Structure 1
Amino acid sequence: MSSGSSTLLKGLDVLRLMGRYPSGAPAAVIAKDSELPFSTAYRLLNSLVASGFAEFDADTKQYRPGLAIFELSSKVASARGYDGTVLPVLQQLSDATNESCLFAVRDGLDTVTVHTVDGPEFRQTTDPGDRLPLHVSSMGKAILAGLPEDEADELIEQLTFEPRTERTVSSAAALRNQIAQGRKVGYVYQSEEVDLGMNAIGAPVIDPNGNVLGAVAIAAPLFRATKTDLIQHREALDTAAYRLAIALTTIQPRG
Protein backbone atom coordinates (compact mmCIF):
# COMPACT_ATOMS: atom_id res chain seq x y z
CA MET A 1 0.00 0.00 0.00
CA SER A 2 1.37 3.41 -0.97
CA SER A 3 1.91 6.10 1.66
CA GLY A 4 -0.79 8.20 0.00
CA SER A 5 -3.33 5.39 0.25
CA SER A 6 -2.35 4.75 3.87
CA THR A 7 -2.84 8.42 4.73
CA LEU A 8 -6.22 8.46 3.03
CA LEU A 9 -7.40 5.39 4.94
CA LYS A 10 -6.23 6.87 8.23
CA GLY A 11 -8.05 10.09 7.42
CA LEU A 12 -11.26 8.19 6.64
CA ASP A 13 -10.92 6.26 9.91
CA VAL A 14 -10.59 9.54 11.80
CA LEU A 15 -13.61 10.91 9.95
CA ARG A 16 -15.67 7.88 10.93
CA LEU A 17 -14.56 8.17 14.56
CA MET A 18 -15.74 11.76 14.62
CA GLY A 19 -19.24 10.41 14.08
CA ARG A 20 -19.15 9.28 17.71
CA TYR A 21 -18.89 12.91 18.77
CA PRO A 22 -21.37 14.95 16.70
CA SER A 23 -21.08 17.80 19.21
CA GLY A 24 -17.29 17.75 19.10
CA ALA A 25 -14.24 16.22 20.78
CA PRO A 26 -10.67 17.39 21.38
CA ALA A 27 -7.85 16.08 19.23
CA ALA A 28 -6.51 14.03 22.15
CA VAL A 29 -9.74 12.02 22.32
CA ILE A 30 -9.75 11.38 18.56
CA ALA A 31 -6.09 10.35 18.73
CA LYS A 32 -6.79 7.92 21.56
CA ASP A 33 -9.81 6.36 19.84
CA SER A 34 -7.98 6.01 16.54
CA GLU A 35 -4.82 4.66 18.23
CA LEU A 36 -2.80 7.11 16.16
CA PRO A 37 0.05 9.29 17.46
CA PHE A 38 -1.29 12.65 18.54
CA SER A 39 0.73 14.46 15.88
CA THR A 40 -0.75 12.25 13.14
CA ALA A 41 -4.31 12.63 14.38
CA TYR A 42 -3.85 16.38 14.72
CA ARG A 43 -2.54 16.67 11.16
CA LEU A 44 -5.38 14.57 9.75
CA LEU A 45 -8.01 16.54 11.68
CA ASN A 46 -6.72 19.82 10.31
CA SER A 47 -6.70 18.39 6.79
CA LEU A 48 -10.35 17.47 7.29
CA VAL A 49 -11.07 21.00 8.52
CA ALA A 50 -9.40 22.44 5.42
CA SER A 51 -11.57 20.26 3.18
CA GLY A 52 -14.81 21.10 5.00
CA PHE A 53 -15.36 17.60 6.36
CA ALA A 54 -14.60 18.77 9.90
CA GLU A 55 -14.96 22.00 11.85
CA PHE A 56 -12.78 23.35 14.67
CA ASP A 57 -14.20 25.41 17.52
CA ALA A 58 -11.41 27.70 18.71
CA ASP A 59 -13.22 28.42 21.99
CA THR A 60 -13.70 24.79 23.08
CA LYS A 61 -10.68 23.39 21.16
CA GLN A 62 -12.92 20.66 19.80
CA TYR A 63 -13.37 19.13 16.35
CA ARG A 64 -16.79 18.14 15.03
CA PRO A 65 -18.12 16.75 11.73
CA GLY A 66 -18.38 19.44 9.07
CA LEU A 67 -21.19 20.47 6.77
CA ALA A 68 -19.55 18.69 3.83
CA ILE A 69 -20.49 15.39 5.50
CA PHE A 70 -24.12 16.46 5.79
CA GLU A 71 -24.15 17.59 2.17
CA LEU A 72 -22.65 14.32 0.94
CA SER A 73 -24.89 12.10 3.07
CA SER A 74 -27.98 14.03 1.99
CA LYS A 75 -27.11 13.55 -1.68
CA VAL A 76 -26.52 9.83 -1.17
CA ALA A 77 -29.80 9.40 0.71
CA SER A 78 -31.65 11.32 -1.97
CA ALA A 79 -30.02 9.36 -4.80
CA ARG A 80 -30.96 6.06 -3.18
CA GLY A 81 -34.50 7.23 -2.64
CA TYR A 82 -34.35 6.98 1.15
CA ASP A 83 -35.63 10.49 1.83
CA GLY A 84 -38.75 10.25 -0.25
CA THR A 85 -39.63 6.62 0.46
CA VAL A 86 -38.44 5.67 3.93
CA LEU A 87 -39.48 8.68 5.99
CA PRO A 88 -43.17 8.65 5.00
CA VAL A 89 -43.43 4.94 5.81
CA LEU A 90 -41.72 5.39 9.18
CA GLN A 91 -43.96 8.34 9.99
CA GLN A 92 -47.10 6.34 9.23
CA LEU A 93 -45.79 3.43 11.30
CA SER A 94 -45.10 5.77 14.21
CA ASP A 95 -48.55 7.32 13.87
CA ALA A 96 -50.15 3.85 13.93
CA THR A 97 -48.17 2.60 16.94
CA ASN A 98 -47.40 5.79 18.91
CA GLU A 99 -43.81 4.55 19.15
CA SER A 100 -40.45 5.44 17.62
CA CYS A 101 -39.58 3.76 14.31
CA LEU A 102 -36.29 3.17 12.52
CA PHE A 103 -34.85 1.90 9.24
CA ALA A 104 -31.31 0.55 8.83
CA VAL A 105 -29.22 -1.09 6.13
CA ARG A 106 -26.30 -3.51 6.34
CA ASP A 107 -22.73 -2.35 5.74
CA GLY A 108 -20.42 -5.33 6.11
CA LEU A 109 -20.77 -6.64 9.65
CA ASP A 110 -22.66 -3.56 10.85
CA THR A 111 -26.01 -1.90 10.50
CA VAL A 112 -26.16 1.79 9.68
CA THR A 113 -29.30 3.63 10.71
CA VAL A 114 -30.65 5.58 7.73
CA HIS A 115 -33.74 7.28 9.14
CA THR A 116 -35.67 7.50 12.41
CA VAL A 117 -38.98 8.97 13.49
CA ASP A 118 -39.50 9.70 17.17
CA GLY A 119 -42.68 8.66 18.89
CA PRO A 120 -45.03 11.37 20.16
CA GLU A 121 -44.10 10.80 23.80
CA PHE A 122 -40.63 9.22 23.92
CA ARG A 123 -37.54 9.66 21.78
CA GLN A 124 -35.68 6.56 20.70
CA THR A 125 -31.95 6.34 21.46
CA THR A 126 -30.60 5.71 17.96
CA ASP A 127 -29.85 8.48 15.47
CA PRO A 128 -29.36 8.48 11.68
CA GLY A 129 -25.79 7.49 10.90
CA ASP A 130 -25.40 5.35 14.01
CA ARG A 131 -23.50 2.13 13.38
CA LEU A 132 -23.93 -1.09 15.35
CA PRO A 133 -22.64 -4.65 14.88
CA LEU A 134 -25.22 -7.01 13.38
CA HIS A 135 -25.62 -9.01 16.60
CA VAL A 136 -26.75 -6.06 18.72
CA SER A 137 -30.00 -4.55 17.45
CA SER A 138 -33.33 -5.98 16.36
CA MET A 139 -32.65 -4.56 12.90
CA GLY A 140 -29.28 -6.29 12.63
CA LYS A 141 -30.77 -9.58 13.74
CA ALA A 142 -33.72 -9.11 11.37
CA ILE A 143 -31.35 -8.57 8.46
CA LEU A 144 -29.54 -11.81 9.35
CA ALA A 145 -32.88 -13.61 9.63
CA GLY A 146 -33.83 -12.39 6.16
CA LEU A 147 -30.64 -13.65 4.54
CA PRO A 148 -30.14 -17.22 3.27
CA GLU A 149 -28.95 -19.35 6.17
CA ASP A 150 -25.49 -20.01 4.72
CA GLU A 151 -24.90 -16.31 4.07
CA ALA A 152 -26.04 -15.38 7.57
CA ASP A 153 -23.81 -18.08 9.08
CA GLU A 154 -20.81 -16.71 7.20
CA LEU A 155 -21.42 -13.25 8.64
CA ILE A 156 -22.04 -14.59 12.15
CA GLU A 157 -18.70 -16.41 12.07
CA GLN A 158 -16.95 -13.08 11.48
CA LEU A 159 -18.60 -11.24 14.38
CA THR A 160 -16.53 -10.54 17.52
CA PHE A 161 -19.61 -10.20 19.78
CA GLU A 162 -18.38 -7.07 21.48
CA PRO A 163 -21.08 -6.24 24.06
CA ARG A 164 -23.05 -3.01 23.96
CA THR A 165 -24.66 -3.75 27.35
CA GLU A 166 -24.56 -6.71 29.73
CA ARG A 167 -27.68 -8.00 27.97
CA THR A 168 -26.14 -8.08 24.47
CA VAL A 169 -26.02 -11.57 22.96
CA SER A 170 -22.50 -12.90 23.50
CA SER A 171 -22.11 -16.04 21.39
CA ALA A 172 -22.68 -17.31 17.87
CA ALA A 173 -24.86 -20.15 19.20
CA ALA A 174 -27.17 -17.78 21.08
CA LEU A 175 -27.41 -15.47 18.08
CA ARG A 176 -28.23 -18.36 15.76
CA ASN A 177 -31.07 -19.33 18.11
CA GLN A 178 -32.44 -15.78 17.94
CA ILE A 179 -32.13 -15.76 14.15
CA ALA A 180 -33.83 -19.16 13.80
CA GLN A 181 -36.73 -17.94 15.92
CA GLY A 182 -36.87 -14.78 13.84
CA ARG A 183 -37.15 -16.76 10.62
CA LYS A 184 -39.97 -18.79 12.15
CA VAL A 185 -42.11 -15.89 13.36
CA GLY A 186 -41.07 -13.20 10.87
CA TYR A 187 -39.65 -10.69 13.35
CA VAL A 188 -36.82 -10.37 15.87
CA TYR A 189 -37.14 -8.97 19.38
CA GLN A 190 -34.36 -7.49 21.50
CA SER A 191 -34.52 -6.26 25.07
CA GLU A 192 -31.84 -3.94 26.52
CA GLU A 193 -29.18 -5.23 24.12
CA VAL A 194 -28.65 -1.78 22.56
CA ASP A 195 -29.49 0.44 25.53
CA LEU A 196 -30.66 -0.46 29.02
CA GLY A 197 -34.34 0.21 29.53
CA MET A 198 -35.16 -0.01 25.81
CA ASN A 199 -36.61 -2.83 23.70
CA ALA A 200 -37.50 -3.18 20.04
CA ILE A 201 -39.03 -5.44 17.44
CA GLY A 202 -37.58 -5.56 13.93
CA ALA A 203 -38.45 -7.11 10.58
CA PRO A 204 -36.37 -7.51 7.42
CA VAL A 205 -37.22 -5.53 4.30
CA ILE A 206 -36.98 -8.02 1.43
CA ASP A 207 -37.60 -7.23 -2.23
CA PRO A 208 -39.59 -9.51 -4.57
CA ASN A 209 -36.36 -11.21 -5.66
CA GLY A 210 -35.46 -12.16 -2.10
CA ASN A 211 -32.77 -9.51 -1.61
CA VAL A 212 -32.55 -8.01 1.88
CA LEU A 213 -32.69 -4.23 1.50
CA GLY A 214 -32.53 -3.44 5.21
CA ALA A 215 -34.74 -3.69 8.28
CA VAL A 216 -37.47 -1.66 9.96
CA ALA A 217 -38.07 -1.56 13.72
CA ILE A 218 -40.38 -0.24 16.39
CA ALA A 219 -38.59 0.81 19.60
CA ALA A 220 -39.88 1.84 23.01
CA PRO A 221 -38.78 2.10 26.65
CA LEU A 222 -39.71 -0.99 28.67
CA PHE A 223 -41.78 0.98 31.15
CA ARG A 224 -43.98 2.07 28.26
CA ALA A 225 -44.12 -1.04 26.06
CA THR A 226 -43.03 -4.62 26.75
CA LYS A 227 -42.47 -7.40 24.25
CA THR A 228 -46.17 -8.28 24.39
CA ASP A 229 -47.09 -4.67 23.65
CA LEU A 230 -44.70 -4.43 20.71
CA ILE A 231 -45.85 -7.71 19.19
CA GLN A 232 -49.37 -6.28 19.06
CA HIS A 233 -47.97 -3.96 16.37
CA ARG A 234 -46.81 -6.89 14.26
CA GLU A 235 -49.29 -6.26 11.46
CA ALA A 236 -48.29 -2.60 11.17
CA LEU A 237 -44.61 -3.62 11.16
CA ASP A 238 -45.19 -6.17 8.39
CA THR A 239 -47.09 -3.60 6.35
CA ALA A 240 -44.25 -1.09 6.72
CA ALA A 241 -41.67 -3.71 5.67
CA TYR A 242 -43.75 -4.59 2.61
CA ARG A 243 -44.25 -0.95 1.61
CA LEU A 244 -40.55 -0.21 2.01
CA ALA A 245 -39.61 -3.25 -0.08
CA ILE A 246 -41.86 -2.17 -2.94
CA ALA A 247 -40.84 1.49 -2.78
CA LEU A 248 -37.10 0.85 -2.52
CA THR A 249 -37.20 -1.75 -5.29
CA THR A 250 -38.97 0.73 -7.55
CA ILE A 251 -36.29 3.39 -7.14
CA GLN A 252 -33.26 1.08 -7.34
CA PRO A 253 -31.01 2.10 -10.26
CA ARG A 254 -31.04 -0.28 -13.19
CA GLY A 255 -27.91 -1.48 -14.91
Structure 2
Amino acid sequence: MSSGSSTLAKGLDLLRLMGQYPSGAPAAVFAKDSGLPFSTAYRLLNSLVASGFAEFDAATKQYRPGLVIFELSSKVASVRGYDGTILPVLQRLSETTNESCLFAVRDGLDTVTVHTVDGPEFRQTTDPGDRLPLHVSAMGKAILAGLPPHEADELIEQLTFAPRTAHTVSDAAALQRQIAHGREVGYLYQSEEVDLGMNAIGTPVVGSDGKVLGAVVIAAPLFRATKTGLVQHREALDVAAYQLAIALTTIQPRG
Protein backbone atom coordinates (compact mmCIF):
# COMPACT_ATOMS: atom_id res chain seq x y z
CA MET A 1 0.00 0.00 0.00
CA SER A 2 1.39 3.43 -0.96
CA SER A 3 1.81 6.14 1.67
CA GLY A 4 -1.00 8.11 0.06
CA SER A 5 -3.50 5.25 0.19
CA SER A 6 -2.37 4.41 3.71
CA THR A 7 -3.06 7.97 4.81
CA LEU A 8 -6.46 7.89 3.14
CA ALA A 9 -7.33 4.61 4.86
CA LYS A 10 -6.35 6.04 8.25
CA GLY A 11 -8.42 9.14 7.61
CA LEU A 12 -11.45 7.07 6.62
CA ASP A 13 -11.03 4.92 9.72
CA LEU A 14 -11.05 8.07 11.85
CA LEU A 15 -14.15 9.28 10.02
CA ARG A 16 -15.94 6.02 10.79
CA LEU A 17 -14.78 6.23 14.41
CA MET A 18 -16.17 9.74 14.59
CA GLY A 19 -19.62 8.23 14.05
CA GLN A 20 -19.36 6.78 17.55
CA TYR A 21 -19.05 10.30 18.96
CA PRO A 22 -21.78 12.30 17.17
CA SER A 23 -21.66 14.97 19.87
CA GLY A 24 -17.89 15.24 19.63
CA ALA A 25 -14.72 14.09 21.38
CA PRO A 26 -11.20 15.48 21.81
CA ALA A 27 -8.31 14.45 19.58
CA ALA A 28 -6.81 12.36 22.40
CA VAL A 29 -9.89 10.09 22.40
CA PHE A 30 -9.68 9.52 18.65
CA ALA A 31 -5.97 8.82 18.91
CA LYS A 32 -6.49 6.28 21.68
CA ASP A 33 -9.45 4.52 20.04
CA SER A 34 -7.78 4.37 16.63
CA GLY A 35 -4.38 3.30 17.93
CA LEU A 36 -2.73 6.14 16.00
CA PRO A 37 -0.03 8.40 17.42
CA PHE A 38 -1.57 11.60 18.73
CA SER A 39 0.30 13.71 16.15
CA THR A 40 -1.03 11.57 13.29
CA ALA A 41 -4.61 11.59 14.59
CA TYR A 42 -4.44 15.34 15.17
CA ARG A 43 -3.19 15.98 11.64
CA LEU A 44 -5.82 13.73 10.04
CA LEU A 45 -8.63 15.25 12.12
CA ASN A 46 -7.71 18.74 10.99
CA SER A 47 -7.58 17.55 7.39
CA LEU A 48 -11.13 16.26 7.83
CA VAL A 49 -12.13 19.65 9.25
CA ALA A 50 -10.56 21.46 6.30
CA SER A 51 -12.55 19.30 3.86
CA GLY A 52 -15.85 19.72 5.74
CA PHE A 53 -16.12 16.09 6.81
CA ALA A 54 -15.55 17.10 10.44
CA GLU A 55 -16.10 20.15 12.60
CA PHE A 56 -13.96 21.49 15.45
CA ASP A 57 -15.47 23.27 18.44
CA ALA A 58 -12.80 25.64 19.71
CA ALA A 59 -14.63 26.13 23.02
CA THR A 60 -14.72 22.44 23.95
CA LYS A 61 -11.68 21.33 21.86
CA GLN A 62 -13.79 18.54 20.39
CA TYR A 63 -14.19 17.13 16.90
CA ARG A 64 -17.52 15.93 15.55
CA PRO A 65 -18.94 14.81 12.17
CA GLY A 66 -19.35 17.68 9.72
CA LEU A 67 -22.22 18.75 7.52
CA VAL A 68 -20.70 17.04 4.49
CA ILE A 69 -21.40 13.69 6.17
CA PHE A 70 -25.03 14.68 6.69
CA GLU A 71 -25.34 15.81 3.09
CA LEU A 72 -23.86 12.59 1.72
CA SER A 73 -25.96 10.35 3.95
CA SER A 74 -29.11 12.26 3.05
CA LYS A 75 -28.39 11.90 -0.67
CA VAL A 76 -27.69 8.18 -0.37
CA ALA A 77 -30.86 7.64 1.66
CA SER A 78 -32.87 9.64 -0.84
CA VAL A 79 -31.49 7.84 -3.91
CA ARG A 80 -32.07 4.44 -2.35
CA GLY A 81 -35.59 5.44 -1.42
CA TYR A 82 -35.00 4.91 2.29
CA ASP A 83 -36.58 8.18 3.40
CA GLY A 84 -39.81 7.89 1.47
CA THR A 85 -40.45 4.16 1.82
CA ILE A 86 -38.97 2.86 5.05
CA LEU A 87 -40.06 5.49 7.55
CA PRO A 88 -43.80 5.30 6.74
CA VAL A 89 -43.73 1.51 7.12
CA LEU A 90 -41.89 1.71 10.44
CA GLN A 91 -44.25 4.40 11.67
CA ARG A 92 -47.29 2.24 10.89
CA LEU A 93 -45.66 -0.75 12.56
CA SER A 94 -44.88 1.29 15.67
CA GLU A 95 -48.45 2.64 15.80
CA THR A 96 -49.83 -0.89 15.50
CA THR A 97 -47.56 -2.45 18.13
CA ASN A 98 -46.89 0.54 20.43
CA GLU A 99 -43.23 -0.47 20.35
CA SER A 100 -40.03 0.80 18.75
CA CYS A 101 -39.22 -0.41 15.23
CA LEU A 102 -36.03 -0.51 13.18
CA PHE A 103 -34.78 -1.30 9.70
CA ALA A 104 -31.17 -2.34 9.08
CA VAL A 105 -29.06 -3.54 6.17
CA ARG A 106 -25.94 -5.71 6.01
CA ASP A 107 -22.49 -4.28 5.39
CA GLY A 108 -19.96 -7.09 5.37
CA LEU A 109 -20.07 -8.80 8.76
CA ASP A 110 -22.10 -6.00 10.36
CA THR A 111 -25.57 -4.56 10.31
CA VAL A 112 -26.02 -0.83 9.83
CA THR A 113 -29.22 0.68 11.18
CA VAL A 114 -30.89 2.81 8.49
CA HIS A 115 -34.03 4.10 10.21
CA THR A 116 -35.69 3.85 13.60
CA VAL A 117 -39.05 4.91 15.02
CA ASP A 118 -39.40 5.13 18.78
CA GLY A 119 -42.41 3.69 20.53
CA PRO A 120 -44.85 6.12 22.18
CA GLU A 121 -43.65 5.32 25.69
CA PHE A 122 -40.07 4.02 25.45
CA ARG A 123 -37.13 4.89 23.24
CA GLN A 124 -35.16 2.05 21.71
CA THR A 125 -31.40 1.97 22.22
CA THR A 126 -30.16 1.79 18.63
CA ASP A 127 -29.78 4.89 16.46
CA PRO A 128 -29.53 5.35 12.68
CA GLY A 129 -25.96 4.71 11.59
CA ASP A 130 -25.21 2.32 14.44
CA ARG A 131 -23.17 -0.69 13.42
CA LEU A 132 -23.36 -4.11 15.11
CA PRO A 133 -21.82 -7.50 14.32
CA LEU A 134 -24.28 -9.88 12.64
CA HIS A 135 -24.36 -12.32 15.56
CA VAL A 136 -25.44 -9.77 18.16
CA SER A 137 -28.87 -8.50 17.17
CA ALA A 138 -32.24 -9.76 15.99
CA MET A 139 -31.75 -7.80 12.78
CA GLY A 140 -28.37 -9.40 12.09
CA LYS A 141 -29.70 -12.87 12.79
CA ALA A 142 -32.76 -12.18 10.63
CA ILE A 143 -30.55 -11.16 7.72
CA LEU A 144 -28.52 -14.36 8.12
CA ALA A 145 -31.71 -16.41 8.22
CA GLY A 146 -32.89 -14.83 4.99
CA LEU A 147 -29.72 -15.82 3.12
CA PRO A 148 -29.22 -19.22 1.50
CA PRO A 149 -27.76 -21.52 4.19
CA HIS A 150 -24.35 -21.83 2.50
CA GLU A 151 -23.99 -18.03 2.29
CA ALA A 152 -25.02 -17.59 5.91
CA ASP A 153 -22.55 -20.29 7.00
CA GLU A 154 -19.72 -18.57 5.12
CA LEU A 155 -20.43 -15.32 6.95
CA ILE A 156 -20.75 -17.06 10.31
CA GLU A 157 -17.34 -18.67 9.84
CA GLN A 158 -15.82 -15.20 9.57
CA LEU A 159 -17.39 -13.80 12.75
CA THR A 160 -15.20 -13.31 15.82
CA PHE A 161 -18.16 -13.51 18.24
CA ALA A 162 -16.97 -10.58 20.30
CA PRO A 163 -19.51 -10.27 23.15
CA ARG A 164 -21.66 -7.17 23.50
CA THR A 165 -23.12 -8.38 26.80
CA ALA A 166 -22.87 -11.53 28.90
CA HIS A 167 -25.92 -12.83 27.00
CA THR A 168 -24.50 -12.46 23.49
CA VAL A 169 -24.30 -15.72 21.53
CA SER A 170 -20.69 -16.86 21.76
CA ASP A 171 -20.07 -19.51 19.10
CA ALA A 172 -20.97 -20.50 15.56
CA ALA A 173 -22.87 -23.66 16.48
CA ALA A 174 -25.22 -21.82 18.83
CA LEU A 175 -25.83 -19.09 16.26
CA GLN A 176 -26.54 -21.65 13.53
CA ARG A 177 -29.10 -23.32 15.80
CA GLN A 178 -30.80 -19.98 16.42
CA ILE A 179 -30.93 -19.23 12.72
CA ALA A 180 -32.25 -22.69 11.84
CA HIS A 181 -35.02 -22.25 14.41
CA GLY A 182 -35.72 -18.76 13.10
CA ARG A 183 -36.18 -20.08 9.59
CA GLU A 184 -38.74 -22.56 10.92
CA VAL A 185 -40.83 -20.09 12.92
CA GLY A 186 -40.33 -17.08 10.64
CA TYR A 187 -38.67 -14.69 13.08
CA LEU A 188 -35.45 -14.28 15.05
CA TYR A 189 -35.39 -13.32 18.71
CA GLN A 190 -32.72 -11.85 20.96
CA SER A 191 -32.86 -11.02 24.65
CA GLU A 192 -30.28 -8.69 26.26
CA GLU A 193 -27.66 -9.57 23.65
CA VAL A 194 -27.36 -5.96 22.45
CA ASP A 195 -28.30 -4.02 25.59
CA LEU A 196 -29.29 -5.23 29.03
CA GLY A 197 -33.00 -4.99 29.69
CA MET A 198 -33.96 -4.98 26.01
CA ASN A 199 -35.29 -7.70 23.69
CA ALA A 200 -36.42 -7.80 20.08
CA ILE A 201 -37.80 -9.90 17.26
CA GLY A 202 -36.90 -9.45 13.62
CA THR A 203 -37.58 -10.89 10.22
CA PRO A 204 -35.70 -10.54 6.93
CA VAL A 205 -36.92 -8.28 4.15
CA VAL A 206 -36.53 -10.35 0.99
CA GLY A 207 -37.20 -9.12 -2.54
CA SER A 208 -39.08 -11.04 -5.20
CA ASP A 209 -35.72 -12.10 -6.66
CA GLY A 210 -34.74 -13.68 -3.33
CA LYS A 211 -32.23 -10.96 -2.46
CA VAL A 212 -32.08 -10.03 1.21
CA LEU A 213 -32.68 -6.29 1.37
CA GLY A 214 -32.35 -5.95 5.14
CA ALA A 215 -34.32 -6.75 8.27
CA VAL A 216 -37.20 -5.14 10.14
CA VAL A 217 -37.32 -5.39 13.93
CA ILE A 218 -39.65 -4.68 16.83
CA ALA A 219 -37.80 -3.86 20.08
CA ALA A 220 -38.99 -3.32 23.64
CA PRO A 221 -37.74 -3.25 27.24
CA LEU A 222 -38.21 -6.58 28.99
CA PHE A 223 -40.34 -5.02 31.71
CA ARG A 224 -42.77 -3.88 29.02
CA ALA A 225 -42.81 -6.89 26.66
CA THR A 226 -41.00 -10.23 26.78
CA LYS A 227 -40.75 -12.72 23.92
CA THR A 228 -44.38 -13.75 24.34
CA GLY A 229 -45.56 -10.18 24.02
CA LEU A 230 -43.38 -9.44 21.00
CA VAL A 231 -44.39 -12.61 19.17
CA GLN A 232 -48.01 -11.44 19.38
CA HIS A 233 -46.97 -8.83 16.81
CA ARG A 234 -45.76 -11.42 14.29
CA GLU A 235 -48.47 -10.66 11.76
CA ALA A 236 -47.76 -6.93 11.84
CA LEU A 237 -44.04 -7.64 11.49
CA ASP A 238 -44.64 -9.86 8.46
CA VAL A 239 -46.85 -7.21 6.86
CA ALA A 240 -44.14 -4.59 7.35
CA ALA A 241 -41.49 -6.89 5.83
CA TYR A 242 -43.76 -7.51 2.82
CA GLN A 243 -44.43 -3.80 2.34
CA LEU A 244 -40.74 -2.96 2.58
CA ALA A 245 -39.82 -5.70 0.11
CA ILE A 246 -42.26 -4.35 -2.46
CA ALA A 247 -41.24 -0.73 -1.94
CA LEU A 248 -37.50 -1.30 -2.01
CA THR A 249 -37.55 -3.54 -5.09
CA THR A 250 -39.68 -1.12 -7.11
CA ILE A 251 -37.64 2.00 -6.42
CA GLN A 252 -36.21 3.52 -9.59
CA PRO A 253 -32.86 5.31 -9.14
CA ARG A 254 -33.08 9.03 -9.72
CA GLY A 255 -31.13 10.46 -12.60
Which TM bucket (shorter chain)? over 0.9
Question: CA separation in 1, counterparts of 2:252 and 2:194?
Answer: 30
Which residue identity does 2:249 align to in structure 1? T
After TM superposition, give the deviation of residue 253 of structure 1 in Å: 4.4
- Matching of residues 125-140 of structure 1 within 5 Å: 125-140=125-140
> For residue 75 of structure 2, what is the aligned residue in structure 1?
75
- Matching of residues 1-255 of structure 1 within 5 Å: 1-251=1-251, 253=253
Question: Helix, strand or coil for the counterpart of 1:209?
Answer: coil
User: Residues 133-182 of structure 1, C-alpha deviation per residue, up to 9 Å, x if partnerless?
Assistant: 00001000000000000000000000000111111101001100110011
Question: CA separation in 1, counterparts of 2:115 and 2:252?
Answer: 18
Contact 2:79 2:253 in 1 (8 A): no
Which residue identity does 1:104 align to in structure 2? A
After TM superposition, give the deviation of residue 60 of structure 1 in Å: 1.0
Calculate percent identity across the aligned residue pairs.
Answer: 86
Question: CA separation in 1, counterparts of 2:144 and 2:238?
Answer: 17
Question: Helix, strand or coil for the counterpart of 1:28?
Answer: helix
Question: CA separation in 2, counterparts of 1:79 and 1:208?
Answer: 20
Question: CA separation in 2, counterparts of 1:181 and 1:33?
Answer: 37
Cα 1:167/1:205, change in 2 over 3 Å: same
Give the aligned CA root-mean-square deviation in angstroms: 0.9
TM-score (norm 2): 0.98
Which residue identity does 1:217 align to in structure 2? V
Question: CA separation in 1, counterparts of 2:176 and 2:97?
Answer: 29
Runs of 4+ in 1 over 2 A off after TM superposition: none
Ranges in structure 1 where 5+ consecutive residues have no aligned partner: none
Question: Helix, strand or coil for the counterpart of 1:251?
Answer: coil
Question: CA separation in 1, counterparts of 2:178 and 2:60?
Answer: 45
After TM superposition, give the deviation of residue 2 of structure 1 in Å: 1.4
What number of residue pairs does the alignment pair up?
254
